[in-house]
């Protein structure tokens, strides 16, 4: 029987209702996103740069922590497992996660690390500059073992784990291997958003969600041509086929920006989902929304193509908002 290529509002509602009874774990690089908002009406006499007149500032959980807040926004239970510093950014991040309903007791404090903080200065709805403060060293092995133990305990109640690798030191090869072993032991779904610059063995995961550039880098293939119809893009099809076979994935989900998403499964024809975004204000955090929504839908019993279509709707909503945004079940269903 052929799989349906559309997702009805009724089926989406059924998936979200089931999702509300699920718990999903998140691990990886938890960050704090700081936004400084202002206006520009003149250029500095000291250098050819705009002078931003400060109006307000706001903070949001970012990185893997943004994945966790996307999950709770959709109504499920989420736990954040990571290592952060003992600083003001860590304190703010914990408070934000608690406000968003994310379980943050598993967070481990390491006084030698600086909590990753990305400061974005925005004027007239446009990002002027970003300042990053962070530690990129690998987490100490003893802390990685503590993290793995807390995840093992969490998998007693959850059947899915999202791994957010942003190259800041939490996800090492040894830690990833331990997570794979835990996934097999608990029969849990493992999703990972890869960063090719951080070379890791990605075999035996359930799902990876690279964008087009990352997919070609992971496949070791040059992106020499581009077709407006992804299924007719021979170069893209070659990269997808190689990744799916080499990494032995359950699902490969390649995000293609304005061209939507490509869903690939073993022994099935690739499935293209056109984008649903009507107006794009900010794409930051959209990938977090995609991997969070997809994984939660799988945990709720959805088929991969259904999970991808739901994630596509979620991404279409969040890119219409400023900042690292989330989507609620009500907003998500309204998009159908």
Query: Does an H or E element contain 130, and which?
Result: strand 126-133
Determine contact, residues 22/296, Cβ cutoff 8 Å: yes
Q: 232: which DSSP letter?
A: G
Which of the following is catalytic: 29, 100, 193, 288? 288
Gyration radius of the chain's alpha carbons:
20
CA dihedral 157, 161, 162, 165 (to 10 degrees): 120
CA distances from 105 to 92, 94, 101 (A): 14, 9, 12
Determine contact, residues 143/108, Cβ cutoff 8 Å: yes
**What tokens appear for 327 in the block?**
């989507």
CA distances from 261 to 20, 94, 308 (A): 25, 33, 8
DSSP codes of every residue in 93-127: HHHHHHHTT-B-TT-EE-TTSPPEEEEEEEETTEE
Q: What pairs with residue 133 in β-bridges?
A: 117
Map tokens 């304005």 to a residue: 258
288 flagged as catalytic? yes
- Integer Cα distance of 272 and 259 in angstroms: 9
Q: 206: which DSSP letter?
A: S
Map tokens 């349906």 to a residue: 4
Residues marked as catalytic: 288
């Amino acid at each position: 029987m052929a799989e349906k290529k559309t997702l009805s509002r009724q089926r989406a509602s059924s998936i979200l209702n089931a999702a509300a009874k699920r718990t999903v774990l998140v691990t990886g690089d938890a960050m704090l996103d700081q936004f400084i908002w202002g206006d520009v009406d003149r250029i500095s006499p000291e250098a050819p740069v705009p002078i931003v007149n400060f109006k307000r500032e706001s903070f949001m959980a970012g990185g893997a922590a943004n994945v966790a807040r996307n999950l709770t926004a959709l109504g499920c239970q989420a736990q954040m497992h990571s290592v952060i510093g003992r600083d003001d950014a860590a304190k703010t991040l914990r408070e934000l996660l608690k406000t968003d309903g994310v379980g943050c007791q598993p967070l481990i404090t390491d006084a030698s690390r600086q909590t990753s903080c990305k400061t974005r200065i925005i004027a007239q709805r446009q990002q002027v500059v970003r300042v990053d403060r962070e530690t990129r060293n690998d987490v100490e092995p003893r802390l990685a073992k503590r993290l793995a133990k807390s995840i093992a305990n969490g998998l007693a109640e959850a059947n899915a784990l999202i791994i957010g690798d942003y190259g800041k030191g939490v996800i090492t090869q040894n830690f990833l291997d331990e997570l794979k072993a835990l996934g097999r032991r608990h029969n849990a779904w493992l999703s990972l958003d890869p960063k090719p610059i951080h070379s890791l063995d990605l075999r035996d995961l359930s799902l990876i969600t690279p964008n087009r550039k990352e997919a070609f880098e992971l496949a070791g293939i040059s992106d020499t041509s581009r077709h407006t119809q992804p299924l007719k893009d021979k170069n893209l099809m070659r990269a997808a086929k190689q990744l799916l076979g080499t990494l032995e994935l359950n699902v490969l989900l390649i995000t293609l920006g304005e061209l939507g998403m490509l869903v690939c499964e073993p022994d099935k024809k690739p499935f293209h989902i056109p984008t649903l975004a009507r107006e794009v204000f900010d794409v930051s955090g959209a990938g977090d929304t995609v991997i969070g929504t997809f994984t939660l839908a799988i945990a709720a019993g959805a088929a991969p193509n259904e999970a991808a279509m739901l994630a596509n709707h979620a991404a279409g909503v969040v890119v219409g908002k400023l900042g690292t945004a989330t989507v609620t079940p009500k907003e998500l269903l309204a998009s159908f």
